[in-house]
Chain A
Amino acid sequence: MKSRRQSGTMSGPDPTEDLLDLYENAPCGYLSLAPDSKILRANRTLLGWLDLSADDLVGKPLRDLLGTGGRIAYETHLAPLLRLQGFVYEIALDLRCDHGLVPVIANASEKRDESDTHLFTRLTLFRAEDRRKYERNLLESKIRAESETEQRDREAELREQFIAVLGHDLRNPVAALKAGTELLKDSGNLDTEDREIVTQMDSTIDRAIELINNVMDFARGRLGSGISLDLQRAPDLDRKLETVIVEAKTARPDRDIRSEIAIGRSVECDPDRLAQLLSNLVSNALHHGRHDAPVMVKAITTRDELEISVTNSGTPIPAHVLKTLFQPFDRGSKQGNHDGLGLGLFIVDQIATAHGGRMEVASDEGGTTFKLVIPSKESEQR
């Protein structure tokens, strides 16, 4: 092994670190405090940051270097922690000096003797301008995000309340109208023309009720807890669906509605919601399908699934329309003003999803079929 110093004239780095120099000029600040928090010593690096001389600092209490926030926190948090556990790490502090604030991250530990008497407290401080700026930005983003979420929640709540009130307020007068037309229909004093007017009014009122219900469901499905299901093992889903068909036939005696309802077993579902779904689909088919062709309704169970489909003939739905058909406020071909709000298919899709199932749609020259498929295992029957 070569000797480290071969001659006095040879110059080269001395591998022995000068510890005093390390203390004074380390790339971090050093600060020592007496047990009463008065400054005993500070290294040259720290004095440089603060643009102070040792005389300026020694003997002063630490709090003179801290802002008020830091001062209170030192008394209420840091000093107790230091006493209890002997150290505190990673404290973000702003040191005050004549030219402003020096943001630092500090570690502190207590030096104690063998009998655990507190001799002094050592602090190591790292300048942390960028780090602290970064943390502040993060914090601001967090606070902003929280306040935005809060704002959104408040608005959503208000919207839901509004829609609930609106729904309630609209339903009442419409229900009164409905009761009135029912009474008129039953009265024997109407001539044929009157009767026709009343029948038309009655069907328009039904449409209004349906629209109100759609809006309510939309509000729930979109803004609130999702469409809620009253799941039950329904043994009489057939009858429920038949009723929908009968109602449709009554409302539109001019149209040919054919049905094949053969569920034949009990199904775990919300029968009212499935009736609502079918009613929506049939009403769509009647509206969009060719008026001289039949609307076909089919409800069957396979081993694992329940399928309800509604088919009409007419112009196929263009491919680009198919893509957004189940979105709210999508009104398909955008023509006609009888489509309502375009919520019907959105709600249909919501009901399918809530049942753990899906909507399928196929449309070509042969006709347009909307099909609900929901899982329903035969084996689950008791």
Chain B
Amino acid sequence: MHVVQGMVKVNPHGGLRGTLELTNGLVTIAHMIETRNNVRAFGSGSPTLLFSHGFGCDQSMWEPVANQLADSFRIVLFDHVGAGRSDLSAYDKAKYANLDGYARDVVEVARSIDTPDLVFVGHSVSAMIGALAAIEAPDLFKQLIMVGPSPRYIDDGDYTGGFDQQQIEELLEFLDNNHLGWSAAMGPAIMGNPDRPELGERLTNSFCNTDPDIARDFARATFFSDNRADLSAVPVPTLVLQCSEDIIAPVEVGKYVAEKVPDSSFVQLEATGHCPNLSAPDEVAQAIRHYVRT
């Protein structure tokens, strides 16, 4: 984060907004959020679609879908802090120990976009992050689109989330055993060579890079979350896009979400697996286009 000196003008909606005097010029809060969350915008049209990635990857997993929609909508992509090319120095263990910290960031990103027509599209855990953000700041969001949502991953009484505690521990163990191309030295190296990303790419995975310690925290925040009670408070129209054969977010869970969210629609996709935004971008883009247009 930048070291900021000077005055913050607090707007009537609350939160940070306005201009800050930096020692070397003028910088806006929006700019700080842009850097923190590696916010990228392209395309034109209305509404603006704000895409939020899930656990395990970064904004690049939305590109195949977003690129198709950029002809009719303004597209905003970002990385959650800790993922992709977000500002790792902004990572705060306490803030991001649960989904609320991520939701606060989404509210700030949404506010910095400054449009009356904002549709939030969240994949996987980001569906719930979006729900929390919309509850927090209902005026900022026009609609929510949830792709493969789950309000709770661990079974609880009559509720079937699909996992038990032990299985989540196994996932954490897998993450410990796999750095998936991450090395502490590599992040900055790629950051330092934005013009030549192939330098890193040759040797290792350059997408979806996550600091292993942060990945572990995010896994905990994700898989130990329970947002079932929040669903009834979602204040905006919501579309649930449900994959077939999704072991992370099974069909029953998607239906549960649609049932509990007051103003919701449910669409069953033909796409299989947990990442239809990558395995079936056409179908996902089509569903989004259809929903926001009607």
Contacts and interface: CB of A to CB of B under 8 A. Distances in A.
Interface of A: 35-37, 61, 63, 67-73, 75-77, 79-81, 83-85, 88-89, 91-92, 132, 135-136, 139
Given A68-B166, A75-B248, 19 more contacts: A36-B272, A63-B247, A67-B170, A68-B163, A69-B171, A69-B174, A72-B163, A75-B273, A75-B274, A76-B274, A80-B57, A81-B57, A81-B205, A81-B208, A84-B61, A92-B174, A92-B177, A132-B177, A135-B177
Interface string B51-94: 00011110011000000000000000000000000000000000
A88 B182 CA distance: 12
B206 interface: yes
A73 B223 CA distance: 12
B214 interface: no
Given A37-B273, A77-B57, A85-B201, A72 B180 contact: no
Nearest to A63: B247
Interface in B171-218: 171-178, 180-181, 201, 204-208
B206 A85 contact: yes
B204 A89 contact: yes
Given A36-B273, A69-B171, A76-B56, A139 B176 contact: yes
Nearest to A77: B56
13 contacts: A61-B245, A67-B170, A69-B175, A72-B167, A72-B171, A75-B56, A76-B57, A77-B208, A79-B274, A80-B278, A83-B278, A84-B207, A85-B206
B48 interface: no
Nearest to B64: A83
| 9 nearest CB pairs, A to B | A76-B56, A69-B170, A69-B174, A68-B167, A83-B278, A75-B274, A69-B171, A92-B177, A77-B56
A150 to B, nearest CB: 13
B144 to A, nearest CB: 21
A107 to B, nearest CB: 12
A76 B57 CA distance: 7
Given A76-B57, A77-B180, A84 B170 contact: no
B207 A85 contact: yes
B286 interface: no
A34 B89 CA distance: 40
Contacts of A70: 170, 174
B279 interface: yes
Given A67-B170, A69-B171, A80 B177 contact: no
A341 to B, nearest CB: 40
Contacts of B171: 68-69, 72-73
From B54, B174, B201, residue with most partner A Cβ within 10 Å: B174
A83 B205 CA distance: 12
B275 interface: yes
Contact of A76 (B163, B166, B176, B248): B248
A69 B223 CA distance: 12
A86 to B, nearest CB: 10
A80 B278 CA distance: 7
Interface string B133-175: 0000000000000000000000000000001001101111111
Contact of B55 (A76, A136, A139): A76
A349 B3 CA distance: 39
Contacts of A84: 57, 60-61, 207-208, 278
Contacts of A91: 178, 180
B97 to A, nearest CB: 17
A75 B279 CA distance: 11
B56 to A, nearest CB: 3
A68 B272 CA distance: 18
A135 B245 CA distance: 33
B124 interface: yes
A84 B273 CA distance: 15
B273 A73 contact: no
B275 to A, nearest CB: 5
A79 B148 CA distance: 15
From A71, A84, A89, A135, residue with most partner B Cβ within 10 Å: A84
From B61, B166, B180, B201, residue with most partner A Cβ within 10 Å: B180
A237 B275 CA distance: 74
Nearest to B178: A92
A36 B279 CA distance: 9
B282 to A, nearest CB: 12
Nearest to A143: B176
A53 B189 CA distance: 46
B197 to A, nearest CB: 11
B114 to A, nearest CB: 30
Contacts of A37: 273
B176 A83 contact: no
A81 B201 CA distance: 12
B279 A79 contact: yes
Contacts of B204: 89
A35 B275 CA distance: 13
B36 to A, nearest CB: 23
A132 B173 CA distance: 12
A118 to B, nearest CB: 8
Contacts of A77: 56-57, 178, 180, 208
